[in-house]
Amino acid sequence: MGTMADQLANLHNTVYSPDGRITAELRSDQVTSLTFQEGAFRQYTERELERQLSRLALRMWTSYQRSYDEAVAAATGQAVEPSKESWDANRRRFRKAQAETVSTGMSPRRLVYFECTGMVSWQIVIRDGALTELDEAQLVAEVFGAYRAMNLDYRIKMQDLRTEHYGDGFAPRRT
């Protein structure tokens, strides 16, 4: 792998929920852990945990995007400046469509639902009663399942958008 590919593959970020009681780790662009401070899990209601996880997801994406931009800047010697992309009308249309893209994912047991618009507006829904039904490890597995499903939906939609805006040669075709 080249320098930029190495840097992107080795990105590592740790982020915290607004209340500081939930920690998530990202390696590259994958969430690798989600942990609660000792005793914190049972103190949440479904609605409060939804709010904390939704904000945590936004913080994860923001942290990843900053690290990504820093890695690209380090490899190219030029700062990433989205405002400089605006001269290309096709790129502007792509970015607008990307920002409006809604991606969704449901957990394996259908207890956690993710919905994300443009990777900046996150809504996480936890079914009523799920926190009494699940232990911490089971809930984390449900969150990961819903996140993976949403992330796959996003990647498929981005591939389709790239093909739409840049042609078949830009993105591999799905079979």
CA 63 to chain centre: 10
Can you tell me which residue has the tokens 């662009």?
29
Predicted local distance difference test score (pLDDT) of residue 86: 61
Confidence (pLDDT) at 83: 63
Mean pLDDT score, 71-92: 75
| Average per-residue pLDDT for the chain | 88
Burial class (CB in 10 A: 0-12, 13-18, 19+), 52: buried
Question: What are 121-154's pLDDT values in tens digits?
Answer: 999 999 999 999 999 999 999 999 999 999 999 9
Instruction: Say what the pLDDT of residue 25 is.
Output: 92
For the cut 90, the answer to whether the pLDDT of residue 52 exceeds it is yes
Residue 8 has pLDDT above 80, yes or no: no
Residues 6+ apart with CB under 8 A from 7: 71, 74, 75
Amino acid at 45: T
Q: Given a cut of 70, is residue 171 above it in pLDDT?
A: no
Average pLDDT over residues 75-102: 80
